[in-house]
Chain A
Amino acid sequence: MKILVPVKRVIDYNVKPRVKADGSGVDLSNVKMSMNPFDEIAVEEAVRLKEKGKAEEIVVVSIGPAKAQDTLRTALAMGVDRAILVQVDDAVEVEPLAVAKILKAIADVESPGLVLLGKQSISDDSNQTGQMLAALMDRPQGTFANSVDVEGGAVIVKREVDGGLETVELTLPAIVTTDLRLNEPRYASLPNIMKAKAKPLEIRSPADYDIDISPRIATLKVVEPPVRSAGVRVADVDELVAKLTSLGIA
């Protein structure tokens, strides 16, 4: 079985995003960028499935600017076999629906048994792409995965849901999106980072797949959220209790 893992290059989760003064978006110049954390979890899961003998090949795909090659190299260093960059201009944000259409076109060529995505990009917080890809491929989906077991022609996915956990069984090929508890991604070792430089990385464009990436949603403006006004410090528990009493809860 082949596994396809889409990864997105996003602002590093440790960076506090700043809104641009002109309200046009978030300032990404000179900001540290990394692989979306949920996608690292997806890459790790794919590598573990390969290590367990459940998969033969892992292909990683990113739709993004030329710099997304760094993200793909990180995945290659973690144990992925080859990479595809569907390159767009630096300023272009490709929406989840168009990403899903490109991924569908790639899946038509690659025929993966499993597509492993992150549940959400920490930039646009959309939480859509995996579900959309599953719809376009007309295949089942196991979102927010807490555990993934490939058994014969099926994958058993334990999902993190509002009330706890839910388990579903999906016929392969299937689409799975990762949640935080699925695994803890490895760090690539230096020798593996060196080896990754020699692994194949193919560069394509959305036009190669005949996909229109023009946006369906216009961002009219982006502003900072309202800031909370500074609070007070209490010296001890008695003072805290007095405050709670004045709030009517103690």
Chain B
Amino acid sequence: MKTLVWVEHDNASVKDATLSAVTAAASMGDVDLLVAGKGVRAVAEQAANIEPARKVLLADDAAYEHALPENLAPLVVGLMQGYDAFVVPATTTGKNVAPRVAALLDVMQLSEIISVEGRKTFTRTIYAGNAVATVESHDAKLVVTVRGTAFDKAAANGGSAAIEDVSGPGDAGTSRFVSAEIARSERPELTSAKIIVSGGRALKDAATFDEVITPLAEKLGAGVGASRAAVDAGYVPNDFQVGQTGKIVAPEVYFAIGISGAIQHLAGMKDSKTIIAINKDEDAPIFQVADIGLVADLFKAVPELTGKIR
């Protein structure tokens, strides 16, 4: 099987989520990569080092700078004549583009696979992770998005793929990028952090969240996450949300602080290696998945914990 993996990048460097998608693709067949963007030859050169890649297709055009799906999808559809599967990391940008490609190819997308079971057979979670379905595609070509936490990262170095220029129809003229508010944080990115400290509704407001959660995260070198309730209440930005409809994470250690453990939250973090819960309600559902539970008032326990960690 010939697969084409879409490389996620910020026009400067390859994003980590790509490497998990490459691993999934490599277990399906040969791997070529697509780097589409503006002024992205350096990104293509970086992508060429990814271990199993045979070839990097480079589409360098202003139309692809912001990964607008209206412009990207026709490019991919053209390239897919030579491929059996289009494989995409299940990030917000990947999820924006892949179904558009699938519809143009007249195939059903396989969303957020967590394993490759056979030529056209995969597993994926449904119902907020309360069920795992084994699914088999009957389409001639596959469009697959890949959950990053479910696959090891391919080696970013050691490969030496050739770079080939390609082009597509360019700007469809129906959409325009206006602006982005991308937060720059000192803390590690959620999807690659080894430790995550998450706070919930109990954290009261933005200032309290920052006073209680951030020092602990700093001490541990951890990323900071949150429940939907904490995001909705404006304690932290939307991209902190962990869960069914936010980010899926699986760090070595996950702290759930003042989070009840609704199924939608669990869906995003229950594959963490060790889960630690601090909650004043001993019956909170979070304790059913926690490896270590502390029933306590977080406003006392968390500062004490931060103080006692070396």
Check A180–B232 contact: CB distance below 8 A: yes
CB <8 Å contact, B108 and A95: yes
* Complex contact B295–A162 (CB within 8 A): no
Q: How far is the CA of A174 from the CA of B175 in the complex (A)?
A: 9
| Max chain A Cβ within 10 angstroms of own Cβ: one of B107, B139, B174 | B174
Residues of chain B from 88 to 143 with CB closer than 8 A to chain A in the complex = 91-93, 95-104, 106-112, 121, 124-139
Please tell me if the beta carbons of B177 and A131 are within 8 angstroms of each other in the complex.
no
Q: Could you tell me if A240 and B100 are in contact, using CB atoms closer than 8 angstroms?
A: no
- Asked whether B228 is an interface residue with its Cβ less than 8 Å from the other chain, the reply is yes
B-chain residues with CB within 8 Å of residue A228 when the two chains form the complex: 270, 275, 288-289, 291
A221 at the interface (CB under 8 A from B): yes
Instruction: Assess whether A17 is in contact with B132, with CB atoms less than 8 Å apart.
Output: no
Give complex CA distance A166, B92 in Å: 11
Interface stretch of the complex, out of B20-28, B54-62, B151-159, B179-187: B179-187
**Residues of the A chain whose Cβ atoms lie less than 8 Å from the Cβ of B207:** none
Bound complex: CA A137 to CA B107 (Å): 16
Complex CA gap A159/B69 in Å reads: 13
- Chain B proximity of A95: nearest CB distance (Å): 5
**Which of B36-44, B78-86, B198-206, B239-247 is the interface stretch?**
B239-247
Report the number of A-B residue pairs with Cβ-Cβ less than 8 Å: 259
| Nearest 6 CB-CB pairings of A with B | A131-B99, A132-B103, A135-B103, A231-B291, A128-B99, A216-B108
Note all chain A residues with C-beta closer than 8 A to B253: 247, 249
Beta-carbon contact of A240 and B294 below 8 Å: yes
Chain B residues within an 8 Å CB radius of A250: 220, 308-310
- Nearest A residue to B309, CB-CB: A250
Q: How far is the CA of A179 from the CA of B9 in the complex (A)?
A: 23
Listed in ascending order, the chain B residues whose CB lies under 8 Å from chain A are: 66, 68-70, 73, 91-93, 95-104, 106-112, 121, 124-139, 172-183, 191, 195, 220, 228, 231-232, 237-239, 241, 244-245, 247, 252-253, 263-264, 270, 274-276, 287-296, 301, 304-305, 308-310
Query: Cα distance A124–B274 when bound, in Å?
Result: 28
Chain A interface residue count, Cβ-Cβ cutoff 8 angstroms: 80
Beta-carbon contact of B92 and A160 below 8 Å: yes
Pick the contact of B305: A96, A127, A180, A237 (CB < 8 A): A237
Chain A contacts for B124, CB-based, 8 A: 125
Q: With a CB–CB cut-off of 8 A, which chain B residues contact A135?
A: 73, 99-104
Q: State whether B131 touches A26 (Cβ < 8 A).
A: yes
| Residue contact B220 to A132, C-beta cutoff 8 Å | no
The answer to whether A231 touches B292 (Cβ under 8 A) is: yes
Q: Point out the residues of chain A lying under 8 angstroms from B98, CB to CB.
A: 131
Residues from chain A with Cβ under 8 Å of B296 in the complex: 236-237
- Taken together as a complex, chains A and B put the C-alpha atoms of A129 and B98 apart, in Å, by 11
User: A163 touches which one: B106, B128, B182 (CB < 8 A)?
Assistant: B182
Among residues of B, the one whose C-beta sits closest to the C-beta of A181 is: B238
Q: Would you call B176 and A168 a contact (CB within 8 A)?
A: yes
Decide if A110 is an interface residue (CB 8 Å cutoff). Answer: no
How far apart are the CA atoms of A134 and B101 in the complex, in Å? 11
| A219 vs B108: C-alpha distance when bound (angstroms) | 13
| Candidates B130, B220, B291, B309; contact of A17 at CB < 8 Å | B130
Contact A171 B174 (CB under 8 A): yes
Most buried by A among B178, B289, B301: B178
- Does residue A187 face the partner (Cβ distance < 8 Å to B)? no
The residues of B that contact A221 with a CB separation of less than 8 Å are 133-134
Check B174 against A124 for contact (C-beta < 8 Å): no
- B174 and A220 form a contact (CB under 8 A): no
Contact between A237 and B127, CB atoms less than 8 A apart: no
Q: A216-B137, A217-B135, A247-B274 known; A128 and B91 CB under 8 Å?
A: no
Query: Chain A residues near B91 (CB, 8 Å)?
Result: 162
Kindly identify, within residues 45 to 66 of chain A, every residue whose CB is under 8 Å from any CB belonging to chain B: none
18 A-B interface contacts by CB (under 8 A): A26-B130, A96-B99, A120-B245, A129-B99, A131-B99, A132-B100, A140-B172, A166-B66, A216-B139, A217-B138, A220-B121, A222-B131, A223-B132, A225-B131, A231-B287, A232-B292, A232-B293, A236-B294
Q: Is the CB of A164 within 8 A of B99?
A: no
